[in-house]
A and B are shown apart, each in its own frame.
Chain A
Amino acid sequence: MFSSDQSCWFVRKVICWRAVASMAWSVLLLLPTTALFVLLSRFSLFHPILWMSECLSLLTSASAIFSFILLCGVVLMVGFFNLEYYTVVPSIACSKIALLGQVLHPRQFVHSLVHCIMGVVVAWCCAFTIGGRYRSLGHPCTQDESSSGPEMCLNEYHLVLLLAGAFIGYSHSLVGVVYNMNYVSFHTMQQYKYLRFKGALPLVVKASAVQALYCLRSFLLLYFFMGYAPRAWICKTLDLSINSSIHSLDSVSSLLDLSLLYHLWISGTFLLLTWYITVLLFRIFVTEVYSFPVQSTFTEDAHQCLPKVITGTQPMILKFLALQDLALLSQHSPSRRLEVFSLSQPGGHPHIWTALSKECLSLLSDLTERLVAHHDTVATNGRAKSQSTGSNKRSTTSSEGSVTSVGMEDMKTPRPSALIRTPGSVFLRSSVGAGLRTPLTTPFTPDLDSPFSSPALRRLTGPLEPQGALSPGFSSIQSPHVMRRGPKLWSASTDSQLNGSPPPSPGPAPSPSQAQLKPSFLVTFLQNRKDQLPEASSQALFADSQVHIWALQGLSHLVAASFSEDQYGIVQTTLPTILSTLLLLQEAVDRHFKLPHTSSKPGHCSCSMGDDSYKTLRFALRSTLKTAVYRITATFGGHLHAVQMSAEHRKRLQHFLEYKE
């Protein structure tokens, strides 16, 4: 599974070791967690001494060691999945259907299946640990009528626990997709790993307890309605009979058994806690600062130096860590800054500074281009929309009809052609690297593997525009509200095939006539689901903006430091370019934030392990950008008047010099 990364020294030497260290720590932490679980699961208020002695004897028994080894295996597996699925650039679904595509992706299917099985394994260990009525799947019983000797009956308590484990494992995987649990974010504040873990631990415990509660609620509902199916199936395959003298568990009264609920909840919490701790440790270890050498005396190490590493794209994590290191060295370490400002020994060229500044500037101007393109599309889009449907503006009705206008806008969207992402890129960090220079929006990922993005589907959704007017109810229900909302809901969609050009993907394309014969439910349904999630497009534009933030910080700190530290004046030569790049970006960001939905802050969901810091990256970028320009103007002051730049930029800079921005 490492095929694409095998070549990179960094993944081999650093990332893998970090992952291994995090797994080792999670296995070590499994010990106290399990002990705590044993204590809590067998808790009895009235027999404290019996309780303690039972727990101790259980913890030292050989069977407990066996189940502990099983748990270790599960934790290692979770750690391996973390390493395999993590990404530093979140995949943001711009519409509900894209989200559905992510959930049904084969890669995600493997993830869900394995987590489901691991959930069963953990639940089995839990059942074994709790003991008593949960101990085994079958128990001997005598059916009163036949009385043909002892039979094996199904122990439904055990079954419920196993099913709950499977359900929680699956929902963990599912929620992980929806809330981007595989996204690894970097922190603004540097802290030691131990302190960071200690700070996050209470939150993780709380999150797992709350999440287990929610999962339990859904599971019980599901079991209440569907519980007979797995029960009958298990009985049939394992040839167990159902003890008719005991009530089955899918009734209200028996499901409200407090002891059962407590055991289910504590097992779910234990399961989620061990997994969350593994995720947390992985995040902490993998985002740890790595200090790259600025220059190397040996040529064979040259590819490990900061100027080389920062320009590469392949393992995304490498680029992120390199830029983080650049941002930190520019702020904190004068000696490494001196190396950046130094000249090459034979020749006297500022190679290091040139490479670093060039990469930072290209990242920033790339973001500028992306923002301008997005803004232009939105602008033309809105205009076209208002012209085409101006006649309908008067009528008012419920906003149910809004989906059509939105859907049609999607069709009209002209986009740059090179933005199609590779299949599976939503999940694969390796291919995310290729997508860095492109908008990362995947409102409708043209994913060849996904059943929802087949050419047939595109044909189905494509010719909707002529049909929209034909179908009853569509033409007359464009409310002004909808019109106003129209442009907002657009996103930088990458589904280029919708816009006239034939689908480049191989495969049988159904004839248009066939598609037009089925206007139908499916199309409407898909169009409904294609309703853009608000502000998702803006989030997607800034999905990788952590890189830009570090580039801005690194550049501005280096430029500010060059005022006193740059002996050869090498920074001065690039100063006009840097300033104009920053000002252009500032302009683009300002324009972007004038769009609707971009300024609204998303609410924080504090009780989940999903990291939603990517949702606010654009605000961080805006603030960092302004600070970066101010840092340069505050350091250089009036000297900036001597810098060559266009009149417009000079005017803009004057605002910064007078503190009027």
Chain B
Amino acid sequence: MMCSLALFPPPLSGYGETSQYDESNTDPAVWFGDSHPLNLYFPGESLKPRSLQECSSKAAFRDHCETLYTRSAGAWRDAGLSGLLNEIANSSAEVPKWLEVSSSCVLALLRWVSSFHGSLFPHLTLSSEDMTAEFSQVLNWSDCAVRSFAWHPHTQKCAVSLLDDSIKIYNPKSANTPTLKHRLQHSVAALQWKPLCASTLAVACHNCLLVWHVDPTSFSTRPSSGCAQVLSHPGHSPVTSMAWSPNGSLLVSASPRDTAMLVWDVAVESCVPLYRVGGGGVTYLSWSPDGSRVLAATPSYLFRVWETRMWTCERWPCLKGRCQSGSWSPDGSRLLFSVQGETVIYALTFTDTPGMPLGMSGGPKAATVVADLSETTLNTPDGDMAVGGEIQSLAWDPTGERLAVLLKGDAEAGRPAMIAVFKTQINPAFKLLPCGFVHGETGTEPRLMQFNPNYKHGAQLTVCWSNGKITHVPFCFMSAGNPQPGLGGSPSPPLSQGRTADYANQTLYTELIS
């Protein structure tokens, strides 16, 4: 038996200033805290996107007569072989006829080959910016004021990357908000703090990875670009995703143009490329919280699951589309993923002991569908409301009790983008129960979400909205498996355990039944 959105309680009509969580009705355990110190607001008008084309300044200068040799050298440096050939083919007055003709021929051949390659992998024809937008976990990445967001894994601190290519770091304990800017920090696709470290932040940029070292005790508001390590590799751009290993030693990065996934040893700035045939690139990476596996999605109908002991992988061909997003359970035994063009969530279960090479031990043979999010109409006090659709991203909270699903929505069909939240249970059997919807002020839609890993009273979902606001939606519950040690001393939020029984008979998905 599978879950569908029809089983969800209908969302409430919106009210209030901050994000409305219609959770209050469905999950009585929600705790409305005071206004959060990290409720942030970045109005889109105040942020100007930085122009990416640095070479566009060329037009401002007069053409200067250089020798063919100088120009060719420049073209080789700027645009490689095709630039060189182009330069030679275009300067017919200065080169012998045969050279011009042959370079034109080679150029045509190159173009033909690249168009052929492009027809095999259509994503290669996109521009870098479009490619980042296409494969990002953020909904409508290109016009989003907040392009990426990252909670620190151990302490209350977050980094926000904005439309103007700057990154701000917020820490509720200090008034100081460092702003990180770097010459190479274009079109930031992802941010992640290094685990087991206080100060290291990795940034996936247009054509490199930047690793910032932001001293938490420093009072500087503009750390210099000397604080950033630049990790770049030829052919590895744009970087759309990256993931730190949970033990903080390695960093993997991916680019849709590069068939290799790079494994970086950040301290010594060296990388090992891991090539595999097929896929045409790597778009999204997610390291399982126990460190034993990495999900690597490709632009074609294929994704891989790497095991991190010996770095072997198993291929998972999908039938309908590319893997759009994935999320690991906290113990690393389950992977939920969504596929573009489909409205369901799949699950993979890994029963083997971590550390063994994948082929040798019994992994899963096929993915199972655990939730169906196809479009349904729900009755609300304001009338019927259509919800459902394709999935943009998945987020599973670190305790493994809540799963948030960002639905793309469809403006024409009147379906807004929404976040649907499930209750999950991993042990003893995997269960998925409906919890509710999160939607924002009228006219805004969620763009990006992440669970706060340091929330003591349950789970806290941070949502970035299309109007540039960042709000935090708390879900308070007593963790069933391991009671939170911090709960004893802190002011206890209004907790109640009563209502879960109402939905117990509506189990969306359990392993035992299916």
Contact = CB atoms under 8 A, between A and B. Distances in A.
* Real binding pair: yes
Interface of A: 187-192, 195, 199, 331-333, 553, 557, 601, 604, 613, 616-617, 619-620, 622-624, 626-627, 630-631, 634, 658-661
Contacts, number: 80
Interface residues of B, number: 31
Contacts of B311: 189-191, 195
A276 to B, nearest CB: 19
25 contacts: A188-B250, A189-B250, A190-B310, A191-B310, A192-B310, A192-B312, A331-B247, A333-B355, A553-B249, A613-B268, A619-B268, A622-B267, A623-B266, A626-B197, A627-B247, A630-B154, A630-B196, A630-B248, A631-B196, A631-B247, A658-B155, A659-B216, A660-B216, A661-B198, A661-B216
A332 B267 contact: no
Contact of A199 (B155, B199, B269, B275): B275
Question: In the complex, which of the residues A190, A331, A630, A659 has the most CB atoms of chain B within 10 Å of its own CB atom?
Answer: A659
Question: In the complex, which of the residues B152, B309, B312 has the most CB atoms of chain A within 10 Å of its own CB atom?
Answer: B309
B272 A199 contact: yes
Contact of B269 (A188, A557, A616): A616
A460 to B, nearest CB: 40
B57 interface: no
A622 B268 CA distance: 10
Nearest to A622: B267
A613 B269 CA distance: 10
B267 A660 contact: no
Nearest to B263: A189
A659 B198 CA distance: 5
B384 interface: no
The 5 A-B pairs with the shortest beta carbon distances in the complex, nearest first, are A616-B268, A623-B267, A659-B198, A630-B196, A659-B155
B267 A659 contact: no
Contacts of A617: 268
Contacts of B267: 616, 619-620, 622-624
Interface in B322-357: 354-355
B265 A659 contact: no
Interface string B273-299: 111000000000000000000000000
Contacts of A626: 196-197
Given A192-B312, A658-B155, 6 more contacts: A195-B312, A332-B354, A616-B267, A620-B267, A623-B267, A630-B197
A627 B249 contact: yes
B119 interface: no
Interface of B: 152, 154-155, 157, 196-199, 216-217, 247-250, 263, 265-270, 272-275, 309-312, 354-355
A553 B355 CA distance: 17
Contacts of A661: 198-199, 216
B250 A604 contact: no
Contacts of B265: 188-189, 620
Contacts of B266: 623
Contacts of B152: 659
B7 to A, nearest CB: 38
Contacts of A557: 247
Dominant SS at the B interface?
loop
A455 to B, nearest CB: 41
Contacts of B273: 199
A199 B275 CA distance: 8
A332 B309 CA distance: 8
Contact of B355 (A189, A332, A624, A658): A332
A288 to B, nearest CB: 11
B154 A634 contact: yes
A619 B270 CA distance: 12
A658 B155 CA distance: 8
A481 to B, nearest CB: 22
B294 to A, nearest CB: 12
Nearest to B173: A658
Contacts of B216: 659-661
Contacts of A620: 265, 267-268
Nearest to B291: A331
Contacts of A601: 269
Contacts of A332: 309, 354-355
A627 B267 CA distance: 11
Contacts of B310: 190-192
B272 A189 contact: yes
A627 B270 contact: no
A616 B355 contact: no
Contact of B217 (A190, A616, A660): A660
Nearest to A200: B272
B270 A604 contact: yes
Contacts of A333: 355
Contacts of B268: 613, 616-617, 619-620
Contacts of B312: 192, 195
Nearest to B154: A659
B198 A660 contact: yes
A624 B194 CA distance: 12
Contacts of B263: 189
Contacts of B249: 188, 553, 624, 627
A658 B354 CA distance: 31
Contacts of A623: 266-267
A286 to B, nearest CB: 18
Contacts of B155: 658-659
B231 to A, nearest CB: 12
Contacts of A631: 196, 247-248
A557 B263 CA distance: 21
Question: In the complex, which of the residues B154, B198, B267 has the most CB atoms of chain A within 10 Å of its own CB atom?
Answer: B267
Nearest to A332: B355
Nearest to A191: B311
Given A192-B310, A199-B275, A659-B154, A613 B196 contact: no
